[in-house]
Amino acid sequence: MTGIILIQLGTPDSPTYGGLFPYLRQFLSDRRVIEVPKPIWVPLLYGYILPFRSGASAAKYRRIWDAKTGSPLLHYTRQQTELLQQHFPDRPVRFGMMIGNPPLADTIQGMIAEGVTKLIALPLFPQYSATTFASATDCLFKALMKERRVPAIRVAAPYYEHPAYLDALTAIVREHLDRVQPEHLVISFHGIPKKYAQRGDPYATHVVKTTRALVERLGLKRSFWTQTYQSRFGKSPWLKPYTDDVLEQLAKRGVKKVSVALPGFTSDCLETVDEIGRESAEVFHHAGGDQLLAIPCLNEHPKWIEAMAAIVRDEGQGWLNSK
């Protein structure tokens, strides 16, 4: 039997210091994410970053936490899984988190127990970066190392130029632009350290290709949009331009109404709802802007569910039409 598994980064179990400490510890201990030598990084992580960042991050998560559904990332990933299941009613469709719950390893173990002998994995990261996509495959194969019966595996390729993904992005952004009619569109992606790109990470190239395809489909004039990078961590240079710097410059130029598209995030999360929707909005307002709106991510939009199904079918040729 062929199964389908969605792989997402993960989220803390609660918006508290106790919930963030183990989450950040696992995330910031990933050698794909932090390439600083262990003798330098471990004392810094445990002596400074975790004690202070856990509390600060918990406060941010409390601002986006829903009393009923909890973390938006978990909520939308669960919805995506349930809706994708409708496209493959005879196949088990599940999701697992690289960090936190439900753990990817537990999900895989359960699918094998169900009788899955072939597994199609869809990392929920459209553009490849070693910090995300490669980390997802690390987590996947690490989980399989503990299993006696390992299913055959296919991992969907990065889909930064996949027509169905671009169709979904275009639909969501166009719906927003038609309704809001901003003066400028900022297209913001999560950043990575510049040195990672210099060492061969193709992320920036994938980002540019997604951006170009999106603006072409939307028919936008070059003066109307700017592509940026957000979520910088630490003092070393990251990919530029930085989102907040661009927003500040736009406001100082007299731009009053800006919308921010977030094509690299498949679900709304802390980086979209709070970082852009609140922190970046404050930067824009402080510099003289009036309105900044974050365009919703792909989330549970029907076009995105259709796109996920198309990507899975592309990867599952020969598997999905047989038992």
Q: Which of 149, 129, 159 is nearest to 6 (CA)?
A: 159
| pLDDT single digits (tens) 292-303 | 999 999 999 999
pLDDT (0 to 100) of residue 234: 83
Do residues 247 and 284 make contact, with C-beta atoms less than 8 angstroms apart? yes
Fold of 163-294: Rossmann fold (3.40.50)
Taking the C-alpha atoms of residue 108 and residue 95, their distance in angstroms, rounded to an integer, is: 9
From 3.40.50.1400, 3.30.360.10, 3.40.50.261, 3.30.70.100, which CATH number describes the 2-159+303-315 domain?
Answer: 3.40.50.1400
Q: What is the sign of the dihedral through the CA atoms of 69, 312, 147 and 151?
A: positive
Residue 323 has pLDDT above 60, yes or no: no
Q: Does a cis peptide bond (omega within 30 degrees of 0) precede residue 102?
A: yes
pLDDT (0 to 100) of residue 219: 97
DSSP annotation string for 106-120: HHHHHHHHHT--EEE
pLDDT (0 to 100) of residue 268: 98
Per CATH, 2-159+303-315 and 163-294 having the same topology is answered yes
Give me the residue spans of the domains in the chain.
2-159+303-315, 163-294
Taking the C-alpha atoms of residue 117 and residue 135, their distance in angstroms, rounded to an integer, is: 23
Q: Where on the phi/psi map is residue 21: left (φ > 0), alpha (ψ -120 to 50), or beta?
A: alpha
CA distances from 317 to 2, 3, 105 (A): 11, 13, 25
Mean per-residue pLDDT, 85-96: 97
Do residues 224 and 182 make contact, with C-beta atoms less than 8 angstroms apart? no
Mean per-residue pLDDT, 217-238: 95
Q: What is the mean pLDDT of the chain?
A: 96
Residue 322 has pLDDT above 80, yes or no: no
Residue in the structure block whose two tokens are 């199904």? 309
| pLDDT single digits (tens) 262-300 | 999 999 999 999 999 999 999 999 999 999 999 999 999
Taking the C-alpha atoms of residue 120 and residue 76, their distance in angstroms, rounded to an integer, is: 20
| pLDDT single digits (tens) 23-46 | 999 999 999 999 999 999 999 999
